[in-house]
Chain A
Amino acid sequence: MTAVLQLESITKSYGGVRALDSLSLEVAPGEVLGVIGPNGAGKSTLIGVIGGALTPNSGTVTFDGRDISKLSSADRARLGIGRTYQIPRPFTRMTVADNVRLAATNSGHHISQRELEPFVAGILERLGLTPFAEEVAGKLPLLRRKRLELARALALKPRVLLLDEIGAGLVRSETEELIAIIQSLRTEVESMVLIEHVMDVISQCCDRTAVLDFGKMVTIDETPKVLADPVVASLYLGSVAESADAVVVDEDKRAGIRASLTSLVSVATSVPGTPLLAVDDIWVRYGGLNALKGVSLSVNAGECIALLGANGAGKTTMARSLAGAVPLTSGTISFAGKSIAGLRPDEVTALGIAQCMEGRKIFGTLSIEENLIAGGLDARKHVKAERLEAVYSIFPILKQRRKNSGTALSGGQQQMLAIGRALMSAPTLLVFDEISLGLSPIAVDEVYEALGAIRDSGVAMIVVEQSVDRALGLADRAMVLGQGEITLEGKPAELLADARLLSSYLG
């Protein structure tokens, strides 16, 4: 049987970095192929090359025996290659149904006006979107956005479907739903290519799995064999040998990081009876939706708070309102005794609250070093230089590549850059918003190690996370947000023992 999709010695470089290095790959008819690998392995680049969003430097892409290397992504979509994006990109001002209609009428398959409505309704039904058909896509929470993303891809009647990290950012019950949807699609499309960090999706959906690292194929085989392969486990999860090495340098490294951090954080002196940050009964309303419904919380000097909750619970709205980027409908926020409600984001940052934003928000037009400097604009020149060196000593990779564009880094490295940038203002309170999102387990380890050191420096922190274990391992106190309200609060150990944690988290 001939392959539906064939990639032959594809090479794609960005600057000096080879994201894909003469990679060859075949997808057979009826096959679901998984692609895994650490961050920066070239997985998203691979999808981009197949879908036509990226032009490889060399190599060919063949679809159904036809060379499609020169075709635009729109032409490929019409030929039958559908894709979803890692971060869903619906037309946010259109309704859910209109998003699907738009895809259906531009698919290259003729569809009459009479057939259109039942077709669209059918797709919405399949993906459980019927109740939300007339809602504006921009207001959907993440799982529904992902479903809409799938609906739009299906409306093109694709023969091959490319799914880019569709499981990212979902909680377990949502992941299970997603797996069921993907499995049900097997009858509808000929083949699928799945890029995933979520192993459950890979093990339950994929016939074969390819493992990439540094743009090269490490192995490709039947999924159970690949997942049992110790080479793959060590590559993906960080090998035992490597961590043994890491332990040897660890103590020196930690001492170095501790020393560097002293110039990067401002430790507030605790005033008995007055918390560093006091949030009192804040409400945030977008359009008709209450994102936060009377949240109150306080953070004392030197304290590390974990803010947990499922998608759409209001965690990021909370982080953004602390940054001054979201106007409060009512309520007050005071920081170090001053009210900060109504201040501009840059004024809030100047007072000492630094943000490590969701999605990292690295400036691609700025070099790595410039990104860092942008985080500490108000400091004097020699202070800035000192802080820059301190960040570099914590994250040496940033120094090595300081002249490169901020976005030329892998996901984990970009996250380090975002942390470094937040530290550049020597903040009194740091807010980390979903820093493990989309990172491989080993990159999450690295990032959380840095977070641990930052906590030990005595600065106050709020860690907004979906990943419960990580955040609870770090925090002194934790609270769980659900539907815009704090539903649970306590010491990490108490929360872990509390059955309500799981139920409030999984809905």
Chain B
Amino acid sequence: MNSIDPVGLANTVLGGALLGGLIALSAVGLSLVLGVMKLVNLMHGQIVVLGAYAAFYLAAFWGISPLLALPIVFVLGFAFTAPVQHFILAPVAKHGEEAGLLTTFALAIILENLFIRFFSGDSRSLDTAFSRETLAIGPINLPTIYLIGFAISLTVCLAVWMLVTRTSFGRSLRASSEDPISAAIVGIHVSRVRWGTFALNGGLASMGGVLIALCFSFTPSSGSEYLLTAFAIIVLGGLGNIMGTFVGGIALGVIQSLGAYFFGDGYRTFVGLVMLIILLAIAPNGILKRRRSL
């Protein structure tokens, strides 16, 4: 290995941090769904991919820039997942915890095949005016899109955090997550909270997909990788901790970029996941300890 180039390393770490924060948006809803519904949502990755395709076709047919399309994608993601919860997941929830898990797994496979059928197996990517631009800060060069995506992800995560900690919906969400039966007896409409959480997750994950697709190309089968990354992020950040998820994203981004820097780009994911295991052995509740703050 050559001697370490400090500027190159700084570039890598900063780029990794920005990218990780950007990807965190795709993970934040997964953590909410896990906390509130006790549901391991295995179709999460496909919802992320769906968001990317939505932005792709909005750009292709109507020329809407992916960044401007974000609110539309949120609405589409929300509208797509709300009926999934109401008509499929809520009815099967009566049959125990495993039922929801298996159902989302089946839906993931169905969605992936529908993507191939309707969108072809080709690799796609999203383009904006900034896609190939970089921003120079002294000797450091960072892709402009990373900075924009990071800022958007941070803003949305803050908004979700406000929603959960400051609003009536958030209060009901926290109570339902802690003890659904008592919450219902107190008068909280728990099934409505679940519905809202799942659909909110749909909107957030779709937007996350747009941000990811602005940086990397995607295919119909990218979903499983997105799911794995999202899991790594929420575990790092502490389950159910929203701003923790954002910080977890940054941490994973830094770890992965260091792995890529020292061992080559092929080791990006490998090093990231190995580091995750080591970190969890040291801090089992994630790097931000207060897991109950939600």
- Spell out A's residues near B (CB within 8 Å): 323-325, 344-346, 349-350, 354-355, 357, 361, 363-366, 370, 373-378, 421, 425
Contact = CB atoms under 8 A, between A and B. Distances in A.
A364 B174 CA distance: 9
A357 B182 CA distance: 8
Interface string B175-196: 1011101111111111100000
B26 interface: no
A425 B187 contact: yes
A377 B292 CA distance: 23
A363 B184 contact: no
Contacts of B181: 325, 345
A349 B186 contact: yes
B206 interface: no
Interface of B: 168, 171-172, 174-175, 177-179, 181-191, 292-294
Contact of A377 (B174, B177, B179, B188): B188
Given A361-B179, A363-B179, A364-B178, A374 B185 contact: no
Nearest to B174: A365
A323 B185 CA distance: 6
A344 B294 CA distance: 27
A431 to B, nearest CB: 10
Contacts of A365: 174-175, 177-178, 292-294
Contacts of A357: 182, 185
B292 A366 contact: no
Q: Tell me the interface secondary structure of chain A in the complex.
A: loop
Nearest to A362: B182
A377 B185 contact: no
Contacts of A364: 178, 292
Contacts of A346: 184-185, 187-190
B166 to A, nearest CB: 10
A132 to B, nearest CB: 27
B186 A344 contact: no
A323 B182 CA distance: 10
Contacts of A421: 186
A375 B177 CA distance: 16
B184 A325 contact: yes
A374 to B, nearest CB: 5
Contacts of B177: 365
Contacts of A370: 171, 174
Given A364-B178, A364-B292, 9 more contacts: A349-B184, A349-B186, A354-B187, A355-B186, A366-B171, A374-B171, A374-B186, A375-B186, A377-B188
29 contacts: A324-B185, A325-B185, A345-B181, A345-B184, A346-B184, A346-B187, A346-B188, A349-B184, A349-B186, A350-B187, A355-B186, A357-B182, A357-B185, A361-B179, A361-B182, A361-B186, A365-B293, A366-B171, A366-B175, A373-B168, A374-B172, A374-B188, A375-B186, A375-B187, A377-B172, A377-B187, A378-B187, A421-B186, A425-B187
Select the residue from A325, A345, A366, A377 with max chain B CB neighbours within 10 A. A345
A350 B183 CA distance: 13
Nearest to B184: A345
A373 B175 CA distance: 11
B65 to A, nearest CB: 39
A351 B186 CA distance: 12
